[in-house]
C-alpha cells in the first residue's frame, strides 16, 4: 500500500470512529490528519487535504481546541495559523475521557439525581422507579469517580502502575 493510500485510509477510518467518542466525522478526520502530520498544518492545508470548506474547517478546529486535543502554533514570519495535535496517546486518552465525562456523564448524573430524589407518590411503581434510578445514579457516580482516578494517573504512582500492567 502506498503512503497516500494508507494515510487516506487512516484518516477515513479515524473519522468513522469519531462518532464513538462523541465528535463528528469531519472533526475526527481533522484530528487524524493533525495526529499523523510530522509538522503543524495550516487551515488551508487541512481544507485542501480533506476537501472541506473554510467554515467547516474553522468550526471543527475550534471544537477540537475546546476538547484540548489540538493546539495552535505560530511560526515566525507567517501570518497563517498552524495547528498540531496532542501526540502523546496516554494524554490524548485522558483528555478525551475527561471531556466525555464533562459533556455526557456529569449531565446524566444531574438528571439521575434529580429524578431519583424528586418523585412523589407512594405507589409501587413510583417506589420502584426511585429505587432503580437511585441504583443507576450510584453506579454511574462510581464509574465516573473511577474514571477520574484513572485519568489522574500522571500524579499517582499506583494508577501509573495499573495502566502499565494493562498495556
**Can you give the pLDDT at residue 156?**
58
Tally of CB atoms within 10 A around 84: 16
pLDDT digits (tens, 9 = 90+) for 87-146: 888 888 888 888 888 888 999 999 999 988 887 778 888 889 989 999 999 999 998 888
Q: Which residue has the cell 412523589?
A: 120
3-85 folds as: Arc Repressor Mutant, subunit A (1.10.10)
pLDDT category at 151 given cuts 50, 70, 90 is: confident
C-alpha 41/C-alpha 86 separation (Å) is 13
Q: Check pLDDT > 60 for residue 157.
A: no
Q: Check pLDDT > 70 for residue 158.
A: no
- Cβ proximity of 30 and 85 under 8 Å: no
pLDDT digits (tens, 9 = 90+) for 30-84: 999 999 999 999 999 999 999 999 999 999 999 999 999 999 998 889 899 999 9
**Can you give the pLDDT at residue 117?**
86
pLDDT category at 20 given cuts 50, 70, 90 is: confident
**Phi, psi of 85, rounded to the nearest 5 degrees:** -105, 155
Domain residue spans of the chain = 3-85, 89-166
Mean pLDDT check: name the lowest of 4-8, 96-100, 158-162.
158-162
**Can you give the pLDDT at residue 167?**
59
pLDDT category at 159 given cuts 50, 70, 90 is: low
Amino acid at each position: 500500500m502506498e503512503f497516500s493510500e494508507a494515510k487516506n485510509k487512516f484518516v477515513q477510518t479515524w473519522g468513522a470512529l469519531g462518532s464513538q467518542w462523541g465528535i463528528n466525522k469531519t472533526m475526527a478526520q481533522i484530528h487524524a490528519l493533525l495526529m499523523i502530520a510530522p509538522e503543524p498544518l495550516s487551515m488551508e492545508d487541512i481544507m485542501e487535504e480533506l476537501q472541506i470548506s473554510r467554515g467547516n474547517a474553522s468550526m471543527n478546529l475550534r471544537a477540537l481546541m475546546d476538547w484540548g486535543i489540538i493546539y495552535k502554533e505560530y511560526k515566525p514570519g507567517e501570518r497563517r495559523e498552524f495547528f498540531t495535535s496532542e501526540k502523546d496517546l496516554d494524554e490524548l486518552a485522558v483528555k478525551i475521557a475527561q471531556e466525555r465525562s464533562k459533556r455526557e456523564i456529569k449531565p446524566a448524573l444531574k438528571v439521575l439525581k434529580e429524578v431519583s430524589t424528586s418523585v412523589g407518590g407512594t405507589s409501587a411503581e413510583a417506589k420502584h422507579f426511585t429505587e432503580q434510578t437511585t441504583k443507576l445514579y450510584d453506579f454511574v457516580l462510581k464509574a465516573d469517580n473511577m474514571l477520574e482516578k484513572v485519568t489522574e494517573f500522571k500524579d499517582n504512582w499506583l494508577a501509573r502502575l495499573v495502566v502499565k500492567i494493562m498495556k
